[in-house]
Amino acid sequence: MQLRVEVAAHIVLGFACCRALGAHLPCQEPSEAALEAVLSRHQAPGSFLAPPEEEWPERAPKLCPANASQTSPRLQDRSASPWSYRVNEDPRRFPRRLLEAYCLCEGCLTGRREDRAVRSEPFLQEVLVLQNSGRCKAGRYVYQPHRLPLARFCVCTFP
């Protein structure tokens, strides 16, 4: 019985000491609305528009088609350098999910075949995001503006 009282006393005393010494609760994530407000102050309106989530790509990667589609309404299918999109996720960034293009072919589609004398390469554009700095201020993580190169589409280039 005395041992239980001593253990309980140590636990209570330990909590009291920690509180007295300014121990703090773990840092929390800011709200989505707060992060959106910070991001909107740093970028031009409409500078990065992601499509609605229901239009995001399927998880399975696509392969290089035999030839460019002439009937698809989507530019990425009609291009000589076709591309698709994948979701780029980072839990320490806002927005946490971005669409990133990837090229479907090594070469470019000319006529009815893939020509590897030319290269299919991603076109990169810097996108402004907020990156978690790991610092805590007023009980919330601090996010800093960061420019992230992001593949937007693919183009044909000469090596």
Mean pLDDT over 86-90 rounds to 90
What's the angle, vertex CA 124, arms to CA 118 and CA 130, rounded to 5? 165
| Per-residue model confidence (pLDDT) at position 140 | 94
Which residue from 58, 18, 30, 12 is spatially nearest to 133, judged by alpha carbons?
30
CA gap 23, 80 in Å, rounded? 60
For 131-141, the pLDDT digits (tens) are: 999 999 999 99
What is the arithmetic mean of pLDDT over 115-132?
95
Confidence category of residue 56, pLDDT binned at 50, 70, 90: low
Predicted pLDDT at 112: 80
Identity of the highest mean pLDDT range in 23-27, 33-37, 43-47, 139-143? 139-143
Round the average pLDDT of the chain to a whole number and report it: 81
For the whole model, what pTM was predicted? Answer: 0.72
Listed in sequence order, the residues at least 6 apart from 32 whose beta carbon sits closer than 8 Å to its beta carbon are: 94
Quickly state the pLDDT bin for 3 (edges 50, 70, 90).
very low
User: Percentage of the chain surpassing pLDDT 70?
Assistant: 74
The CA radius of gyration of the chain, in Å to the nearest whole number, is 25
C-alpha angle with apex 123: 117 to 129, nearest 5 degrees?
155
Domains and CATH numbers, the chain: 28-157 (2.10.90.10)
| Count of helices and strands (H, E) across the chain | 3, 7
Q: Specify the pLDDT at position 61.
A: 80
Give residue 123's pLDDT band: very low, low, confident or very high (50, 70, 90): very high
* Distance (Å, whole) CA 48 – CA 85: 15
